[in-house]
Structures are given as structure tokens and as C-alpha cells.
Amino acid sequence: MFLFHLILTFVLHVMNGVYATILAWVQSPNHGKMQIFTLLASSNFIGMLFYVPMQLIRVRKEPNKISKLFICYHLKGYPRSAWILTFFTATFWVLANFSTVYSFRYASHPSVIQGLSLLMPFMVFFISKVFKISKKLPRFIIPAFFISVGGCLMMILGVNKSQDDNELPNTNNTVAVILGILFDIFAAFFFSFQQKICRTYKINAEVLLILIGQIYLPLTLALSFILKEDWGVFKNLGVEGWMFMLYITIGIMCLSRLGQTQMVIEIGAALYSTVQAIRLPSTMVSDYVVLKANPHWPLQYIGAIIVFISISLFLGYQAYLERKTKNNNKKNNKKAFFDPSTSSFIEESEDDSETNLLGKSGINYETGLSDTENNFIDSDVSIEKGKIN
């Protein structure tokens, strides 16, 4: 079964790699002509229709099952700071969604933005350290980060030197890169705060995103109508356009995110994230097939190889540490979490607790993992344990 889960993990990451190219296609003035908030509202509406019934089925034998779909139920009795943190988490989720989708709208080569999105796990570690969600940074994170950034810069320079006939109409690679960087920041804040909320208030990650979706969906709908976006675009999508929209809504928003949630449970967050670098070559291939955006400048290829190798090695090392931690805990029958910065196991004690943003204990030692090891998942704001698309 492990091999099957690993193959399925590859498939899910390839799907998300192709997703980047399709986002660019459906927003292109020469193809889908879909405007940003129309796309966000319609696709996430389908996601809500998929996950709300699933959650109701999951809690069908529990009391107050309808109430559990509303944020007031989960935060009842908690201080005002809990509501504030949840509000900021929802805000970062909205901003991350907006920035990543819009970045592909302006990118002549979506693979460059995909490369930038792979830097997000580093940002999660840094932000978790700043806000004391995690005590220390993992080993090798600084060299791995700068090597990966160097690879991304080579890809960006390669795009600037590529032939002009590769560029799609109305693209702006500078704007796309800025939005891609903002996505890394917003998504890292979201993942870090999501982790804290789920651990502190015992809220399932899927439920949390359903709760946040209650804010996100009406907001994007309202903005779409305020900006007078043309919803009649659905009439002119054509067969190819509808296939791509079905891919986004059913393939990514529903099936892919459900699969990612399950794979994190089956093989672990760190190992699942180790494979995510495969998104970059899959985006490059789909760029060529769908958008005819073939990188002619060698810097793009060299940069992509550097990013792929550095991200894979760093996250692979984290996966090794995660497995080592689990084996150690099982062998010694101890409840302990692993500190990747020191390669040491820290046993649970009454005095050994990390600073909580809300003043309550948020550490859960039952998983045997540090707080940040579950935050390696993906470039799209998504519904799973520690993750987005």
C-alpha cells in the first residue's frame, strides 16, 4: 500500500503542476477570458458544495452537527484574541488565493511562478520561528533557501531573455513575480496560524477551511458584482474551456484536495511534501503543450533543475527526520516531538511548553512531530492538514 500511496502522491502533485498552466489559460484574454473574482467565486463554490456534505456525513452521529459548520460554535467561550487570530487566518487565506491565481494571469511562463511557490515551506519555518510556534529552525534551511532562491532568480532572468513570441498577450512578468512572492508570504502566515488554531481549539483543518469559506465565498462574489465582471463568459468557454473549468473545480478543488488530505495521513506531511517539487517540471511541460510557452533560454532550465534538487533534498531530509521520530517514539513508547533544528527528541513534560499566541497551551505531542512538520503542503490554498493551492 505504501507504493500505491507514493504513486498517488506523485499524481496529485502533477495535477497541481498542470493546474498552474490551466489557471493562466482560463484567464488569458485570447482563451478563457475569465476574470479573477468570477473564477475564485465559482471554483470555490463547487468546493464548498463538495466538502460541506462530506463534513456533515462525517459528524452525522454527533450532536449539534449543523452547528459545527459555523465558526461561532468552535470559538464559543474562547477569548477575543481567538476570534482575532481566526479573522487574520481567513484574511491571509483570501490574500494567498488572490495572489497565486492572479500571478498566473500575468505570467508568460507559469512555471516561473510555480518555482517561486516551492519556496513557501521555507517561509512557513521562518514565520513559525518568529511567532514562536516552533522553537528553532531546521538544519540546512538557510543554505537550502538561498540556493533555491538563486535557482528562481535564474528562471526569472531566463524568462526576461526568452524570445518575445513565447509571451502571451497582456502579460507582465514583473507583476507576476511580485504576486508570486506575496503568495509565499500570505500562504506561510496562513499555514502557521492554521496550525495554531487547529492544535489549540481542536478544530479539524477541513472544518476550518469550510468556516473560512463562509467569509471567502460571499466576499469574492460581492467583489465580482461590484467590479461588474462578466459572468456571461461561461457561455463562450467552448469545449476546451469547460474541460479546464471542470479540471479546476472537480479535479483540483474537490478530488485533489481530498486526496492530499488522505495522503498526508497515510505517508506523513514531510514525505508528501518531499515529492511536491515534481510540480515544477509538470508545469513546464504543460506550459509548452497548452500555452506553447517553450523556455528557449538555458537559464530557465538550469534554474529549474537547481530549485527541483534543493527543495527535494531539504524536504527529503525532513521526511527522514519525521520517520526517525516516529520509529523512536514507537520503540520507546514515549510521547515526544522531534526538534529538526537539533536532531533531538524532546519528551513531554509539564514545564516544557511552547509560547502560545493566545495564551493557551497549543502543543499536541501525540503526533510525535514538531509544529512545522505538518506545514509542507502546497502552492494552492487547499483543504488538508497544514496546506493551500
Per-residue pLDDT tens over the stretch 149-164: 999 999 988 876 654 4
Give me the percent of the chain exceeding a pLDDT of 90: 32
Mean pLDDT of 268-290: 88
pTM above 0.85, yes or no: no
Mean pLDDT of 107-128: 90
The whole-angstrom separation of Cα 276 and Cα 260 is 11
Q: What confidence category does residue 71 fall into, taking pLDDT thresholds of 50, 70 and 90? A: low
> Which residue type is seen at 119?
L
Residue 21 has pLDDT above 90, yes or no: yes
**Is the separation of the CB atoms in 335 and 349 below 8 Å?**
no
Query: How many CB atoms sit inside 10 A of residue 305's CB?
Result: 15
Of residues 318 and 82, more confidently modeled = 318
Q: What's the pLDDT at 153?
A: 93
Q: What's the pLDDT at 124?
A: 87
The whole-angstrom separation of Cα 346 and Cα 331 is 15
Any alpha helices (H) in the chain, and if so which ranges?
Answer: 2-27, 36-58, 71-75, 80-106, 110-117, 120-130, 141-160, 173-201, 205-226, 238-246, 257-267, 269-274, 279-286, 298-332
- Tens of pLDDT along 213-233? 777 888 889 999 999 999 989
Q: Which three cell numbers stand for residue 291?
A: 500555452
**Is the separation of the CB atoms in 275 and 9 below 8 Å?**
yes
